[in-house]
Amino acid sequence: MTKTFGATSTTGDVLDGITLNGKRVLVTGVSAGLGVETARALAAHGAEVVGAVRDIAKAEAATAPVRAQAAKGGGLHLIQLDLASLASVRACADALNADGRPFDVVIANAGVMRTPFGRTADGFETQFGTNHLGHFVFVNRIAPLIASGGRLVNVASSGHRYSDVDLDDPNFERTPYDPMVAYGRSKTANILFAVAFDKKHKARGVRATALHPGGIKTELGRHMEPDELDTLVAQINAQLAANGEPPFQWKTIPQGAATSVWAAVVASADEVGGRYCENCQVSDVTDGLISPVSPGVRSYALDPAHADALWKKSEEMVGERF
């Protein structure tokens, strides 16, 4: 009988009884929060995890529990990857391709949120450049390494509801900068990238999905002032109350990483391929006036034509065709 999981399920719950020996998984952002827990859970069940991180020294310290709890056959190897620099992205991809060993799963977990206005090393708006374009180039360059039957899992967010992508002004050159709108654009892009990648690679047995991990207190919120976060939660709870829904609940880190590992190695490929997931389930499309934390995905984030247009725009921006 298939187990059913939900918002309170943990990585331990969804991986209970599952052995991942012989599986090789790449996870970006394995230096804090969800990335560390995702790597820990997978390695603890026997997977060989490659963690791509910007700061190797920081990650070495943060991932001590991953190595300590790795099962026989499981383990962790770190590689350097700065998603805000396409030179770094290309160098990392080149090294992995030269190594040639395949991956069963790639989890694009790394990201930034609500940053002040800035630009990446290549001149892209920080959040779109890091969260989307960095992963876009990295994943596409290593796509041949994803084995048949493998998956791409993009960690997106319910924050995609704050904004669709803006293909006419992706770098806020004409639009007033709003950090949450910029975050929303980048998270919508994460979902659309999964939709397009799934379409392009489905025929060779590789699927892609995107997900919202839930609200978790991690380093991702470091650019927010404490009172700003409290104000945002109060606004969300007021909206939830008006909708007759219970108040917002923070997830623990093991609960937050549960959907990542569920979508990567537990759910069936046909169930999650080209879809958006949360709370260890596939989400319904909801375009009505709902709270940013209520379940559901906006239709613009799953539109195949829109995904193709973003792919083409992304290729133009990074100067590569995939």
What band does 1 get if pLDDT is binned at 50, 70 and 90?
Answer: very low
pLDDT exceeds 50 at position 312: yes
| Model confidence band, residue 98 (pLDDT cutoffs 50, 70, 90) | very high
Rounded to an integer, the average pLDDT of 278-285 is: 96
* Non-local CB neighbours of 186 within 8 Å, separated by 6+ positions: 111, 127, 128, 130, 131, 132
Radius of gyration of the chain (CA): 18
Two tokens, residue 87: 């030179």
Q: What is the mean predicted confidence (pLDDT) over 248-265?
A: 94
User: Which of the pair, 113 or 232, is modelled with greater confidence?
Assistant: 113
Higher pLDDT, 258 or 3: 258
Please say if the pLDDT value at position 237 is more than 80. Answer: no
- The two tokens of residue 244 are 């007759």
| pLDDT at res. 215 | 86
Is residue 229 within 8 Å of 114, Cβ to Cβ?
no
Written as six digits, the tokens of 270 are 């046909």
The residue type of 254 is P
At residue 21, the pLDDT reads 97
The backbone region for 172, taken as left when phi is positive above 0, alpha when psi lies in -120 to 50, beta otherwise, is left
Q: CA–CA separation, 139 vs 125, rounded Å?
A: 20
Tell me the pLDDT band of 241, cut-offs 50, 70 and 90.
confident
| Active-site entry in 162, 177, 183, 300 | 183
| pLDDT tier, 234 (very low <50, low <70, confident <90, very high otherwise) | confident
Residue 20's pLDDT is what? 98
Instruction: Write the CA distances from 267 to 23, 106, 250, 280, integer angstroms.
Output: 16, 15, 24, 9
Bridge pairing between strands 146-155 and 276-278: unpaired
The residue behind tokens 């960690």 is 155
Give the residue-averaged pLDDT of 18-34: 97
Is the confidence at residue 6, as pLDDT, over 90?
yes
Q: How distant is the alpha carbon of residue 300 from its chain centre?
A: 18
Is residue 177 annotated as a catalytic residue, yes or no?
no
Does 2 have pLDDT greater than 90?
no
- Report the percent of the chain where pLDDT is more than 70: 95
CB proximity list for 35: less than 8 A, separation 6 or greater? 27, 28, 29, 51, 53, 109, 110
Rounded to two decimals, what is the model's pTM? 0.93
Average pLDDT over residues 71-94: 97
Residue 123: is its pLDDT beyond 70? yes
Write the single-letter amino acid at 40: R
Compute how many other C-beta atoms are within 10 angstroms of the C-beta atom of residue 322: 15
Q: What H or E segment, with its residue span, contains residue 108?
A: strand 103-108
What pLDDT, on a 0 to 100 scale, did the predictor assign at position 233? 76
If pLDDT is split at 50, 70 and 90, which confidence band does 218 have? low
Which residue type does 293 have?
V
Q: Give the pLDDT mean for 268-276.
A: 98
Of the listed ranges 132-141, 179-188, 234-243, 271-280, the one predicted with least confidence: 234-243
Cβ distance 38 to 257 under 8 Å?
A: yes
pLDDT at 134: 98
Q: Could you tell me the end-to-end alpha-carbon distance of the chain, in angstroms, rounded to an integer?
A: 40
User: CA dist 282 to 27, 209, 210, 247, 272, Å?
Assistant: 21, 10, 10, 22, 7
**pLDDT at 10 exceeding the cut of 60:** yes
Structural domains in the chain, sorted by start: 11-221+251-317 (3.40.50.720)
Question: Helix or strand or coil: residue 55?
Answer: coil
Q: Which of 20-34, 104-118, 240-254, 298-312 has the lowest mean pLDDT?
A: 240-254
Task: Match 């399920």 to its residue by tokens.
Answer: 9
- For residue 216, name the pLDDT band (cuts at 50, 70, 90): confident
pLDDT confidence of residue 185: 98
